[in-house]
């Protein structure tokens, strides 16, 4: 395994440790709702506090899971975003249509949120995975009425 990855990996474990311990201070164990994964994990850990190594829900395991999620999610997401931007830069017509959609559907200078998703069929089509991947053609996701097609595997 790449040495830089191993060295940086142990630094990252230290960062996780610090954040986990900080987060642990503010957990409401009385509430059944959890605001994130670590909180749900700690509640499970508390239920199993009398088991050896918390029944497999120990601190080291939590750090390992955070590392898995971070490593699985980080490179993949940054690469997809970088490639997406690159494709858009090479297709100014697509960039223009995204811009027009955002200007007409999002009022003012605010941040776009997930709640806006249904208003932005073209922008959604640009960021979706697609069949025939060698052609950059977001229109394939728009139906004849100008709406985003419903595709099972896309959230
Ligand atoms: C655009 C971004 C992403 C791409 C392209 C991607 C791609 C993949 C692929 C191809 C697999 C293997 C699926 C299989 O063979 O069964 C996978 C698995 C996985 N991904 Fe992602 N991923 C992305 C984002 C993320 C994010 C953000 C996370 C976590 C925060 C994540 C966590 C995982 C995990 C935990 C697995 C293993 C699932 C299992 O086998 O149980 N991924 N991902």
List residues bridging with 142 in a β-sheet.
148
Probe target for ligand 1 pocket from 76, 130, 133, with the most ligand atoms within 8 Å of CB: 76
73-85 per-position pLDDT tens digit: 999 999 999 999 9
| Residue in 114, 135, 139 with CA at minimum distance from that of residue 125 | 139
91-123 per-position pLDDT tens digit: 999 999 999 999 999 988 899 999 999 999 999
Q: What is the pTM of this model?
A: 0.73
Please count the helices (runs of H) and the strands (runs of E) in the chain.
5, 0
* Helix runs in 25-112, H state only: 37-47, 59-89, 92-105
Nearest CA to ligand 1 atom 17: 72
Pocket lining for ligand 1, CB < 6 angstroms:
68-69, 72-73, 76-77, 80
Q: Which two tokens mark 86?
A: 């690159």
């Amino acid at each position: 395994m790449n040495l830089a990855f191993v060295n940086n990996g142990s630094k990252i474990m230290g960062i996780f440790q610090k954040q986990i311990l900080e987060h642990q201070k503010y957990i409401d164990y009385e509430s059944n709702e959890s605001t994130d994964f670590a909180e749900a994990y700690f509640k499970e850990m508390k239920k199993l506090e009398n088991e050896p190594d918390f029944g497999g829900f120990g601190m080291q395991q939590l750090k390992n899971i955070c590392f898995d999620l971070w490593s699985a999610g980080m490179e993949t997401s940054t690469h997809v975003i970088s490639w997406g931007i690159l494709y858009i830069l090479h297709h100014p017509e697509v960039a223009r249509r995204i811009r027009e959609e955002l200007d007409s559907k999002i009022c003012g200078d605010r941040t776009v949120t997930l709640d806006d998703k249904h208003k932005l069929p073209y922008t959604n089509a640009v960021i979706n995975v697609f069949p025939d991947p060698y052609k950059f053609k977001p229109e394939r996701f728009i139906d004849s009425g100008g709406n985003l097609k419903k595709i099972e595997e896309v959230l």
